[in-house]
A and B are shown apart, each in its own frame.
Chain A
Amino acid sequence: MSHSNRKDGPESVSAPSEPEGLPARILELGEELRREGVAVGTSEMLDAFEVLREISWTSQEDFREALAATLAKSQEDRRIFELVFERFFFRAVELAASREGIREDEVAGLGELSEDELEALRMQIAAAVRDGSEGAMRDLARMAIAAFARRQEGSGVIGVDVQRIRRALGLRAEAQPELPAEDPRREGLPRESLRRFEALLRRELERAQIERTGNLPPSRPLGELDRALPSGPLADLAAVHRVVAQLRRRLATQGMQARGHRHHAHVDVRRTMRASLQTGGVPVVLKFRPRRPKRPEIFVLCDVSTSVTSASVFFLSVLHALHDTFRKMRSFVFIERISEVTDIFERERDFRAVSERISSDAGVADISGYTDYGRVWSEFLTQVEDELHPRATVIVLGDARTNGRDPRADVFAQIAARAGRTFWLNPEPRLYWNYGDSVIAAYEQYCTAFECWTTAQLEDFVRALTRPVIAAAR
C-alpha cells in the first residue's frame, strides 16, 4: 500500500487525533458491522486487506464490491453492509471536511428560476433517473436542492424535503399518460433509480445541514425497524417472503442437525436381525431407526379483530407458506364466532388479497365487533372435537383482551387437555399482559404463551413448534 494511492480513494480522511490511514478505517468499518450484527471475524478482516492489495482504490464501485465480497457473506449481511458502508464513509468524509473547513462550492449561475428553466431541469432529472446514471443524478440532485431552496420551500426536516422535491419534480414510478410523448416520465420511471435519486437527495440535504450547523448528527444504529414484524398496514408481501425464506432456511439447517443427534435413537430390531445374518446370527452391528423431524398436525386460531388483524394475517401467511413442514393444517379466524379459512390461503397467495377475503367473506363479526373468547372456545370445540388428539397442536393468536366478557378458561382447558400441545402467541409485549381487560393469565396455566412481535420471536416459536418430540416436552 503506497502513500501515493492513499489520497485518491474514498478513504482519504484522517483525523489528527485518531490512528492514521486506511487500515484503521477498515478496522473501524469492521467494528461497526459487528455492532450491527454481521459476523466479521479476524480472518475476514485479513481477507479484506489482502483483497485491497489487488484492486485499485480509485474506483468506488470496485472498492465497495471487494470489501463486500470478503466481509458480507449472505444476502442479509450484504443488505446491512450497504447501509453501513454508505453511512460510514459519508460520515468519515463529512467529519474531515468540517474539520478542515472545506465546503462544497455553491452551485453557480442559479438565480431565480423561471418556470421554463424549472421545466427543463425536471426533464433533465427525469432523463437521468430513467437512464440510471449515477454521476448525472448526483449533480442534478444538488441542482434540484439549490433550486428549491431558492423558492423557500424547505421545511428543515430532511425526510419531508426529499418527498417535497420529488413531488415538485413530478417523478413517479407509475406511467403518466397525460404527459407529452417526448417526456421521459410518460412511461413511468424505474423504481430502483428513483430510490437511488431519493437517497442522493437525502444525502445532499444532510451534507448541507452538516455544513450549516458545523457538526455531525449522532450516528444512529440501524433500527429494529428492519427486523421487526410488519404489524402495521404497511405490511407487504416482500416482508412475508423475507421472513418465510429465512425460516425455511433455518428449518432446513436445523433438520440436518436433528438427524445428526443419535443419542436417543431407537434400535431397529428388524434391520439389526437382518444385519446379524452376516455374522451368523450374532447382532454385532446395531441398526438404529432414523429420527424423522416432527411434522405436527396444526390447528390455528387467529383473532382478527381490529387490534391484531395484521399480525394475525401475517402469521397465518407465514404458517401457510410453511405448510409442507406440517402434516396437516387447519386455520380458523375469529372475532365473536369462528370461521375456517384454510381454503382461502390455499387459493390466494397475495397477502393483501387474503386480508380482503377474510374481512369480506369470513363473517366472523356479529354485532359488536368485540372478541368473545368464551363463545369462540365452545364453537371451536364442537367443530373439531373429533379431530383433536394427543398428536395435534393448537395455536392461538390473540391479545387475550375479552372486553369484559367471561373468558371461559374451563372450556379452553378442555381443548388444551385433548390436544397434545397448546401454544398461545400474544402480539403484545409481555409488559402489557394482564393489564386492563387482558386475561392471558387465566389461559396461560393451560398452555405455553409466547410474546410474538419481532421476527426473532416468531422464529423462536416456529423452532419450538417443529422441535423433535423429546426435546419439546417442557
Chain B
Amino acid sequence: MPDPESPAPASVKDVAAGLRGVGYLPGESTALVSFLATKLGKPVLVEGPAGVGKTELAKALASYLGRELVRLQCYEGLDEAKALYEWNYRKQLLRIQAEAQGSGWEAVQEDIFGEEFLLARPLMTAIASELPVVLLIDEIDKTDQEFEAMLLEVLSDFQISIPELGRVESRTHPVVLLTSNNSRELTEALKRRCLYLWLDYPALEHELEIVRLHAPELSETVARRLVEVIGMVRELDLKKPPSIAESIDWARALLLLGVKDIDEDTFLETMSVIVKHRTDMDVVADRVGLKLRSPADVA
C-alpha cells in the first residue's frame, strides 16, 4: 500500500511499481502517462477498444494514490443537472412551507439557495472535495458535444460557476481520466486540453502476466496456451473480440474445470466465456477449433 505521507510519485518507475502493487500491470506508456498526469495535473484521455482496462486504470490509480474515486458514467442525454449540481427543490419547498409566515422574500431567498440545498453531482463532488480525488469520466464519447463544451471549463480551470452562489473553485487538484471507446470523434478543443493515451490489447507476455496475476493457480503451460488462443481469436474479424476481463474469466473457468490442456473439445465447450455473438461463435469454432486440432493429430 502507498505511503499516505508522500502522495506525489517521484518517477515513472514509482508509478509502475505502485500500480503493480494494487494489482494492475501497466504497459510502459500507461505508467508514463499516469506519472505525467499526477505531475502536471492535466486530464488524460484514454482511448482503446472495450475491455482493455481503461476504467480499471482509474480505479488502480485511485487506490495507489490513496485517493477517493469519483465516477461520472456518461450516457446519451446526460446534462448538467446530472453531472454538476442540482437544487434540491423539494427540500426548498418544505423549507418555505415550514416558515411560510413572517419572513420576507429576501430572507427566504438567502436561506434556500445555500449549500444545504445543493445536490452535488460527481463533477461538483470532485471539485469541492477537501481531499484530492481521482475523477473518472467514463465513456465520454456517449455524450453529445454540448456536454463536452461544458466540461471544458471544468477541466481547464477546475471551477464551477453557480449563478445563485458564486464560483466553486477546487481546493485540491484532482487527477482526471476520461475514457472513450472511440465510437465518435471528440472535439479538438477537448483533446487539446488532455494528454492522450491509447490502450490496446496487451502483447502476449504482458497478458500472460495479467492472467497469472488474477488466476495464480493456473499452470504456466495452460496459461500460455490460453493467451495464445486469445491472441488467435482477436486476429479474426469479430463483432466483439475478447477483452482482458474475459481472458481472466476464461482462465478461472478452466481452473474450476481442472483442465490440463486446451484442446479442441475443451475449447468448443468453454468458448462461450470469451465469444459472445452467435455469428462470432461460428467463425471462431471454424477457424480456431481447427488450429487446435491439427498439432494433436500430428503428435
Contacts and interface: CB of A to CB of B under 8 A. Distances in A.
Interface stretch (A59-67, A197-205, A308-316, A368-376): A59-67
B1 interface: no
B294 to A, nearest CB: 10
B36 A51 contact: yes
A259 B33 CA distance: 35
Nearest to B28: A61
Nearest to A349: B237
Interface stretch (A39-47, A152-160, A226-234, A432-440): A39-47
B144 interface: yes
Interface stretch (B52-60, B129-137, B189-197): B189-197
A78 interface: yes
B36 to A, nearest CB: 6
Contacts of A62: 12, 32
Interface stretch (A246-254, A326-334, A423-431): A246-254
A75 B198 contact: yes
A389 interface: no
B182 A73 contact: no
Nearest to A131: B205
Contacts of B195: 47, 51, 69-70
B40 A51 contact: yes
Contacts of A72: 196
A73 B32 contact: no
B36 A66 contact: yes
A55 interface: yes
- Count class of interface residues, chain A: 35 or more
A68 interface: yes
B188 interface: yes
Given A253-B185, A256-B144, A350-B237, A55 B36 contact: yes
B184 A249 contact: yes
B17 to A, nearest CB: 15
Best-surrounded residue of A41, A68, A259 (most CB of chain B within 10 A): A68
Give the interface centre of B29, B32, B283 by most chain A CB atoms within 10 Å: B32
Contacts of A69: 29, 32-33, 36, 195-197
A79 to B, nearest CB: 10
A249 B182 contact: yes
Most buried by B among A39, A69, A257: A69
A385 interface: no
A252 B237 contact: no
Contact of B184 (A47, A54, A237, A253): A253
A352 to B, nearest CB: 11
Which of B36, B45, B191 is packed against the most chain A CB atoms within 10 Å? Answer: B36
Nearest to B38: A54
Contacts of B184: 249, 252-253, 256
B88 to A, nearest CB: 23
B161 interface: no
Interface string B29-48: 10011011001101001010
A237 B196 contact: no
B31 to A, nearest CB: 9
B145 interface: yes
Contacts of B198: 75, 78
Chain A interface helix/strand/loop/mixed: helix
Contacts of B192: 41, 43-44, 73
B9 to A, nearest CB: 11
Contact of B32 (A43, A66, A75, A259): A66
A260 interface: yes
A65 B183 CA distance: 24
A17 to B, nearest CB: 34
A87 B39 CA distance: 30
B145 A256 contact: yes
A99 B23 CA distance: 50
Contacts of B35: 54-55
A28 interface: no
Contact of B42 (A47, A177, A241, A253): A47
A324 to B, nearest CB: 12
A65 B32 contact: yes
A73 B42 CA distance: 14
A39 B188 contact: yes
Nearest to A255: B184
Contact of B36 (A54, A74, A249, A253): A54
Interface in A88-112: none
A260 B188 contact: no
Interface in B204-255: 204, 237
A257 B237 contact: no
A20 interface: no
B183 A252 contact: yes
A50 interface: yes
B29 A54 contact: no
B192 to A, nearest CB: 6
A104 B23 CA distance: 44
B68 to A, nearest CB: 25
Contacts of B33: 65, 69
Best-surrounded residue of A39, A65, A75, A78 (most CB of chain B within 10 A): A65
Contacts of A250: 185
B29 A65 contact: yes
A418 to B, nearest CB: 35
A192 B202 CA distance: 13
B180 to A, nearest CB: 10
24 contacts: A43-B192, A47-B42, A55-B32, A62-B12, A65-B32, A65-B33, A66-B32, A68-B196, A69-B195, A69-B197, A70-B196, A73-B45, A73-B192, A73-B194, A73-B196, A74-B185, A74-B191, A177-B298, A245-B182, A248-B183, A249-B185, A253-B184, A256-B145, A350-B237
4 closest A-B pairs by CB = A252-B184, A73-B191, A73-B196, A65-B29
